[in-house]
């Protein structure tokens, strides 16, 4: 209900901004374009004539234009009810994450409680979309979240490096699903991607998707290791073609992680794929999104690139460990006029 209210508020405010590149609400309300083969990506311009380009031959990314557009969208100022709605929506889109060697059942349980009720004195805030843990903690998380709408996501496929044989990666995935994971966050083989072994990357994603069974698959590109926007675009298209339900920027274990230009680029790939196939793919920036101001910037990127239909936890998530408390502080400031101390919010 909170997410729905937030989307509705954002839809009817004009101060987020407008652009000819936005998918209008009418574009997404009707039936999707005719289904196309998933080994194709891209689409002709709206209202024009053109041909789709092959998956592994996308046009070169204009880095200057991409970075300038991402920066310009970061200058949009959200105020009043629009800002309040955006903050609430950001909370509903968070995957609260703990992926440390020192994780314990107690820490995971605390994280689950915070995901269910982010603001203890206001049950109308939240819940968060999911928590993300290692496979060994999935059973604990499922028990603590029973009866709630919060999903349990588990990393798999030799996270964070991806440097294990495929049979081990698939066993890792199946085990997490058997434990009860609703979503799997896998990592691609960045070494294979960088040497041009695209078939290996594709086949591993496709095999992992099959191993997921009913669980949704998020594919982590680890964009900070891919070296260029062109490779990031190619990896995004490949992941989508291989069956990803979401594409995700980063593991959060290296820097740079999520950045506005990289996220904008990946959103544009999702837009192109939707035009080509009618299939909606989700997006998850992870790592480096630490403040409410940054979160609102990312929501503007989504609205301006994909339109209101993607302003939902079903299609956009934040990978977050430090973000939630800053958003809660800003939410309380908007509601009460006073900043709360950081110590007023739990750390886990």
Reported as a single tens digit per residue, the pLDDT across 129-156 is: 999 999 999 999 999 999 999 999 999 9
**Residue 205's closest CA among 194, 221, 191?**
221
Q: What homologous superfamily does CATH list for 2-30+56-332? A: Aldolase class I (3.20.20.70)
Annotated catalytic residue: which of 83, 209, 234, 284?
284
Is 167 considered catalytic here?
no
Q: Compute the distance between CA of residue 99 and CA of residue 108 in angstroms, rounded to an integer.
A: 10
User: CA angle at residue 106 from 100 to 109, to 5 degrees?
Assistant: 95
Mean pLDDT of the residues in the chain: 85
Q: Give yes or no for residue 303 having a pLDDT over 80.
A: yes
Residue 334's pLDDT is what?
78
Q: Give yes or no for residue 270 having a pLDDT over 90.
A: yes
Q: Compute φ and ψ for 50, nearest 5 degrees.
A: -175, 175
Residue 111, both tokens: 């994280």
Q: Give yes or no for residue 43 having a pLDDT over 90.
A: no
Percent of the chain with pLDDT over 70: 80
Check residue 290 and report its DSSP letter: -
Is 185 considered catalytic here?
yes
Long-range (24+ apart) CB contacts under 8 A made by 202-206 are 202/238, 202/241, 202/242, 203/242, 204/157, 204/166, 204/169, 205/238, 205/239, 205/242, 205/243, 205/244, 206/242, 206/243
Highest mean pLDDT range out of 20-29, 48-57, 70-79?
70-79
- Encode pLDDT of 276-299 as tens digits: 899 999 999 999 899 999 999 999
DSSP tally for the chain: helices H, then strands E: 13, 10
Annotated catalytic residue: which of 182, 248, 272, 326?
248
Interstrand relation of 40-41 and 53-54 (parallel, antiparallel or unpaired): antiparallel
Say whether pTM exceeds 0.95: no
Burial track 155-189 (b if 16+ CB lie within 10 A, e otherwise): bbbbbbebeeeeeebbebbbbbbebebbbbbbbbb
Annotated catalytic residue: which of 95, 172, 185, 308?
185
Percent of the chain with pLDDT over 90: 73
Residue 342's pLDDT is what?
57
Is 293 considered catalytic here?
no
DSSP 138-152: HHHHHHHTTTSS-EE
CB-CB neighbours of 333 under 10 Å: 14
Q: Compute φ and ψ for 286, nearest 5 degrees.
A: -140, 140
Q: Give yes or no for residue 22 having a pLDDT over 80.
A: no
Residue 5's pLDDT is what?
44
Pair 131, 327: CB distance under 8 Å: no
Three-state DSSP at 286 gives: strand
Q: Give yes or no for residue 31 having a pLDDT over 70.
A: no
């Amino acid at each position: 209900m909170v997410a729905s209210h937030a989307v509705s508020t954002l839809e009817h405010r004009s101060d987020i901004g407008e652009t000819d590149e936005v998918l209008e609400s009418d574009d997404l309300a009707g039936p999707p374009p005719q289904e196309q083969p998933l080994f194709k990506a891209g689409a002709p311009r709206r209202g024009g004539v053109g041909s789709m380009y092959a998956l592994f031959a996308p046009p070169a990314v204009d880095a200057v234009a991409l970075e300038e557009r991402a920066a310009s969208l970061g200058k949009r100022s959200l105020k009043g009810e629009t800002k309040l709605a955006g903050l609430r929506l950001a909370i509903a889109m968070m995957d609260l994450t703990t992926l440390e060697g020192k994780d314990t059942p107690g820490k995971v349980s605390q994280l689950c409680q915070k995901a269910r009720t982010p603001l203890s004195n206001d049950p109308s805030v939240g819940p968060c979309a999911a928590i993300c843990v290692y496979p060994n903690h999935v059973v604990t998380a499922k028990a603590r979240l029973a009866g709630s709408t919060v999903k349990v996501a588990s990393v798999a496929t030799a996270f964070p490096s991806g440097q294990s044989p495929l049979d081990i990666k698939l066993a890792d995935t199946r085990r997490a699903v058997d434990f009860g994971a609703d979503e799997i966050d896998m990592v691609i083989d960045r070494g294979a991607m960088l040497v041009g072994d695209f078939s290996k990357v594709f086949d591993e994603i496709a095999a992992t998707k099959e191993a997921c069974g009913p669980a949704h698959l998020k594919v982590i590109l680890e964009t900070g290791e891919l070296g260029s926007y062109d490779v990031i675009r190619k990896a995004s298209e490949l992941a989508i073609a291989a069956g990803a339900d979401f594409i995700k920027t980063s593991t959060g274990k290296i820097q740079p992680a999520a950045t506005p230009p990289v996220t904008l680029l990946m959103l544009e790939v999702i837009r192109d794929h939707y035009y080509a196939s009618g299939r909606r793919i989700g997006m998850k920036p992870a790592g480096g999104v630490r403040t409410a101001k940054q979160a609102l910037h990312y929501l503007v990127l989504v609205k301006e690139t994909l339109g209101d239909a993607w302003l939902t936890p079903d299609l956009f998530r934040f990978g977050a460990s430090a973000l939630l408390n800053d958003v809660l502080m800003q939410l309380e400031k908007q509601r009460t006029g006073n900043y709360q101390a950081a110590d007023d919010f739990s750390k886990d």
